[in-house]
Every structure is written in C-alpha cells, then in structure tokens.
Amino acid sequence: MQQICRRLQELLHLLNEHLPAFSASELCEPPAPGKWSRQEILGHLIDSAANNHRRFVLALTQPEPLQIEAYDQDAWTRCADYQHTPPADLLTLWTLYNRQLIRLIGQIPPGAYTTRCAYESGYSVTLSWLIEDYAVHLEHHVQQLLDRTPH
C-alpha cells in the first residue's frame, strides 16, 4: 500500500503543479456536447474520493462482505454544480480529501487487505483491489485533466 500512497501523492503534486496554468475557458469548456469539462472531471474526482472513503471505512468496520453501492456519477456532478465552482476551491477540496485518503490507506492493517467487497452484480473483490482501482481511476482522470489535446 505504500506504493499506492506514493502514487497518489505524485498525482496530487502533478495536478496542483499544472492545473492552475490552464485558462478559465480550458477548465470550464466541455470538449464535446454531453462531455464533462475539466472542472466537472475534477468534481467527479471529489465525488469518487467521497464514495471510496466511505467504502474503505465500511470495509474496515462492517462485517464481510461489504456491499458496494453504485452511485449516479452524472447526477452527482450535476447536483454539485462543479461547472460553476471556483476551480481553486475544487483543487483544494480534492487535494485535502486525497491527503486524508492517503492517511487512511497508510494505516490499514495488512490483514484487512483481503476483506471481501461485493458489487450489486455479484462481482466480488478485496479491499486491496478497491484501493488499487481507486488509484488507477485517479490516474486516468488526472491524465485527462492535464491533456492539452481534446479529450
């Protein structure tokens, strides 16, 4: 898990270093109709942090298997109105939330990594897999956010 925590730290540093260089139009213009703007992608990452924070804690505190509830990502992004939120606020919230997740992940007892987590579909994974999946998801969207070509 130390490697995942380092990866998350690197992503925090990368986004905080480069995202402020984007113009207001680069941050708020969606690349195509029906697609999220960079601000909305960053907001989605805040929602993802919130949902995964809950999952990680429940996996540590509830009987197995943790039942993973899906959430409507588009509805969450729309309801939070990330498109009209100051980008600096989004970046700060995302950064602080992920710092907390890094602290949480860093203190998980090794024996808890195998805690079973079950999706509504019946697909079953471990807490370790959920954490790795969170990091992969974050990497994907950080690449989108920093890509200067249309996404």
pLDDT digits (tens, 9 = 90+) for 26-75: 999 999 999 999 999 999 999 999 999 999 999 999 999 999 999 999 99
Please state the rounded mean pLDDT for residues 106-111. Answer: 96
**2-146 fold:** Four Helix Bundle (Hemerythrin (Met), subunit A) (1.20.120)
Query: Structure pTM?
Result: 0.95
In percent, the amount of the chain with pLDDT more than 70 equals 98
pLDDT of residue 98: 98
What are φ and ψ of residue 126, in 5° steps?
-105, 165
pLDDT category at 3 given cuts 50, 70, 90 is very high
The answer for residues whose C-beta is within 8 angstroms of residue 150's C-beta and 6 or more apart is: 31, 32
The answer for residues whose C-beta is within 8 angstroms of residue 4's C-beta and 6 or more apart is: 105, 131, 132, 135
pLDDT category at 113 given cuts 50, 70, 90 is very high
pLDDT of residue 151: 46
As a whole number, the mean pLDDT across the chain is 96
In percent, the amount of the chain with pLDDT more than 90 equals 97
Cβ atoms of 43 and 77 closer than 8 Å: yes
Determine the Cα–Cα distance for residues 126 and 146; give it in Å rounded to an integer: 31
The answer for residues whose C-beta is within 8 angstroms of residue 80's C-beta and 6 or more apart is: 43, 46, 47
What three-state secondary structure class fits 124?
Answer: strand
pLDDT category at 149 given cuts 50, 70, 90 is low
pLDDT of residue 148: 74
